[in-house]
A and B are shown apart, each in its own frame.
Chain A
Amino acid sequence: GNSVTQMEGPVTLSEEAFLTINCTYTATGYPSLFWYVQYPGEGLQLLLKATKADDKGSNKGFEATYRKETTSFHLEKGSVQVSDSAVYFCALSEGDKIIFGKGTRLHILP
C-alpha cells in the first residue's frame, strides 16, 4: 500500500539556520503531496501542497518540490525562526483519504 516515510526527530537548529526535513513516499499512480504543521496545543494545518510532478509548493518561506524520479517531497526553509518550532507531517493522498507520515518535531533555539 501507499506510505510516507519522513526523517525522525527531534531536529534542533539555531535561529536563521537552513532547514531540510526529508520525506519520501511509496505510491501507485500520482498522488498529491502535502506538508502539514502542528503547533503546540493545536490541530494540524496545511502548510503547502503539490499536485503533480515538478510542482513546487510554498508558504511562509517553506518550500517543497514534488520529485517523481526520487519519490521525494523534502521540506526546506532558508532561515528558520523560533516561531517555526512545531511538528511537521508529510502526507500523500490515497483516493479519498490522506496518509500521514509519523511527524518530525522541530525545535528552533534563539
Chain B
Amino acid sequence: DADVTQTPRNRITKTGKRIMLECSQTKGHDRMYWYRQDPGLGLRLIYYSFDVKDINKGEISDGYSVSRQAQAKFSLSLESAIPNQTALYFCATSMLGIYTFGSGTRLTVV
C-alpha cells in the first residue's frame, strides 16, 4: 500500500457542485498539506496542518476548505466548484523537512 493515498484518482464534476478529495497516510507524520498543480505554475499550497487541531491557510485557500479528521486523514473540499479549479491536486506529509506525496487527484470542473 502507498504511504500517502488519495481518492479519487480522477473526478469530473459540474460547476456549483460540492466535492471532497480525501487523503490518508500511514507514515505517522503529524504534518499534512494540500497542493494544486497547474501547467507552468508549479505547486501552490492550499492548506496545511501540523496536527489534528491545527489548520492553516496557504497561498491560494479561497474557494477551498479542509478537515483534519485524525492524524492520518486530511480532506480537501470545494464547496461550490468552478472551472478554474480544474487542476491536479496533491496531498503530502512531512517530517524533518522531507515530504512524501500522494499520486494526485485529477479534478475537472465542467
- A-chain residues with CB within 8 Å of residue B98 when the two chains form the complex: 46, 49
Q: Interface size of B by Cβ–Cβ distance < 8 Å?
A: 21
B4 touches A43 (CB 8 A): yes
Q: Contact mask A44-81 → B, CB, 8 Å, 1/0?
A: 11100100000000000000000000000000000000
A25 at the A/B interface (Cβ < 8 Å)? no
Question: Main SS of the interface on chain B?
Answer: strand
A: contact size bracket: 10 to 19
Interface residues of B in 75-110 (CB under 8 A from A): 90, 92, 94, 97-104
B97 touches A89 (CB 8 A): no
Binding site for B on A (CB under 8 A): 32, 34, 36, 41-46, 49, 89, 93, 96-98, 100-103
17 more A-B contacts (CB under 8 A) besides A100-B43, A102-B41, A103-B43?
A32-B97, A34-B97, A41-B103, A42-B103, A43-B92, A43-B102, A43-B103, A43-B104, A44-B43, A44-B92, A45-B101, A89-B42, A96-B31, A98-B94, A100-B42, A102-B42, A103-B42
